[in-house]
A and B are shown apart, each in its own frame.
Chain A
């Protein structure tokens, strides 16, 4: 029941919107003597991650099933990209690949990453690619055919790389740190935000510089000369 209300910059039930969830507190409920059950304080109702939700109870069989579903989706659509000859279809398969990868992120409890993957790649980059293809290509139904030479070379490189990677994977010992569970109350969005503004501040800010320069360059390249 006892809820301490140390209020530095706002008071209970005052029309103030900006709250800090780490300083969770209750308002009129405490004042009128009702025992408030708040989901953040109630130990029995942590918000599960989506992976936990999907694998939660139904016989605990969800996770491997989910993994194989994602893996099949990713691999099959990746194959389809290579073997498709229609560039718009390729982009659809690429969308499926990206969604499969997002599924992996979900299973690894990196929900934010999964959402960002969809927003940035599926919703942004890929659709811009499709847009670009449709706008620039005289004939978007253009068929891409590889010559047998190219096919052979590509297959050689691909098989070689795959063999190398599989060999490497087999011979590589488990990495130093084992996988650890994400704590139930782990706020990943907050952690990512903090990391971007502390440890990874330089790449974060540098990315802004990069985008500015690229924008200037692209605008220059796209500009039609006046007169």
Chain B
């Protein structure tokens, strides 16, 4: 067994366990932040004593996730009649698995010096790291689509359709952002991208527009508010997971949080310098203590981003669907293309990086200036006389024919 193999396995196991547990606490955090935003207290009843242990303090509701978990396990797992059973079972799995696969290439703790060799503190240090993340991310949409389809429910179906269109649309600017970062650094290796940022300055500083767009895309990719139209309860009951219950529903629920974590880690890796902190980046390769410190820095950044995501969810209202599409196709994609073009020209001319900042600023100004001036086209919510729609009721069938 090579040392790298052992490192990979250890990283994988530790990180996977850590994220699984933190998923549960992320839900608690979500409820807490929601409560703070709405000037409530939030869940604070379930402590850690569970009626058995001698802990008298309420522990700020720290036992809530465990109680939730037990509740979900004990709920009736109801499969409605008329569903496509295989796909109905498969869908929640497909939601969760791509999110977990994404953790494999994230360089959590930089490099571990072990004797003579340098080991990657990554489960799978592969060449195409960030492209792999994109590839895996593009599979997640199947869970939502198939869940919506298999449920045999119109609301679920609509939710699935919405989610498909949304995820496909936002994958494009996301991919373009990743390409721009690769273009800047000339490498698609996750660890190299972090190294470059550690040696210079984080990408978010030089490409703020790109960073904001990428963050938006992550929100859209994990169907978080303000992009949670696929499960908009006012319109679609529960969207694609209306018909799910018990642990299958819990998988959808956890999948969302896992996607958040994966997305936040992806963002940290691309734009926030990964494990880099200004004073910490000097020894590139270190012992276990340094690796743990760096992992802590990485996870801290991820946690901050997660908090930001939750904050956004409880602050911003939901988009309307046509606004959502317009944002992607008329806003994000052209802007990202412009940034990419600018970066390409810069790299070709070997310009210093501050030019990128200037370019980003100019592009942002251009977008702000041009945005209101682009003709909006026809009204979206006009009547569509499709046969069979409520604007064009079906003709009465001739009984003789």
Contact = CB atoms under 8 A, between A and B. Distances in A.
Interface of A: 8-10, 13-22, 26-29, 34, 36-40, 42, 44-45, 47-50, 53, 56-58, 86, 88-89, 92, 95, 111-112, 114-116, 118-119, 122-124, 127-128, 130-131, 134-135, 140, 187-190
A45 B125 CA distance: 10
A143 to B, nearest CB: 12
Given A89-B87, A122-B138, A123-B139, A18 B164 contact: no
B39 interface: no
**Which 5 A-B pairs give the minimum distances between C-beta atoms?**
A123-B138, A118-B135, A17-B353, A115-B135, A45-B118
B135 A37 contact: no
Given A47-B127, A53-B8, A115 B132 contact: yes
- The B contact surface, by secondary structure, is helix
A45 B171 contact: no
B196 A19 contact: yes
B282 A86 contact: no
B200 A188 contact: no
Contacts of B5: 53, 56-58
Nearest to B285: A37
9 contacts: A17-B200, A18-B346, A21-B186, A29-B282, A38-B284, A47-B120, A48-B4, A119-B175, A134-B160
A115 B118 contact: no
Interface string B268-292: 0000000000000011110000000
Interface size class of B (residues with CB under 8 A): 35 or more
Contacts of B141: 123, 127
Nearest to B164: A131
B24 interface: no
A49 B126 contact: yes
A86 B84 contact: yes
Nearest to B199: A27
B353 A123 contact: no
Given A9-B352, A10-B352, A57-B1, A123 B126 contact: no
Contacts of A36: 284
> Which among B2, B118, B127 has the greatest number of chain A C-beta atoms within 10 A?
B127
B28 to A, nearest CB: 33
Interface of B: 1-2, 4-5, 8, 84, 86-87, 90, 111, 113, 116-120, 124-128, 131-132, 134-139, 141-142, 145-146, 149, 157, 160-161, 164-165, 168, 171, 175, 182, 184-189, 191-192, 195-197, 199-201, 203, 205-206, 282-285, 346-347, 350-354, 356
Given A127-B138, A127-B141, A189-B188, 8 more contacts: A38-B284, A45-B117, A47-B120, A47-B126, A88-B84, A88-B146, A115-B134, A140-B149
A39 B188 CA distance: 15
B131 A189 contact: yes
B127 A53 contact: no
Given A16-B352, A115-B134, A127 B164 contact: yes
Contacts of A20: 186
Given A16-B353, A119-B134, A44 B117 contact: yes
Nearest to A19: B196
B188 A119 contact: no
A189 B192 CA distance: 14
Q: Which residue of A38, A47, A112 has the most chain B CB atoms within 10 A of its CB atom?
A: A47
Contacts of B134: 115, 119
Contacts of A131: 145, 161, 164-165, 168
Contacts of A114: 135
Contacts of A18: 184-185, 346-347, 350-353
A18 B347 CA distance: 7
Contacts of A57: 1-2, 5
A88 B353 contact: no
A95 B131 CA distance: 19
B127 A19 contact: no
B285 to A, nearest CB: 5
B103 to A, nearest CB: 15
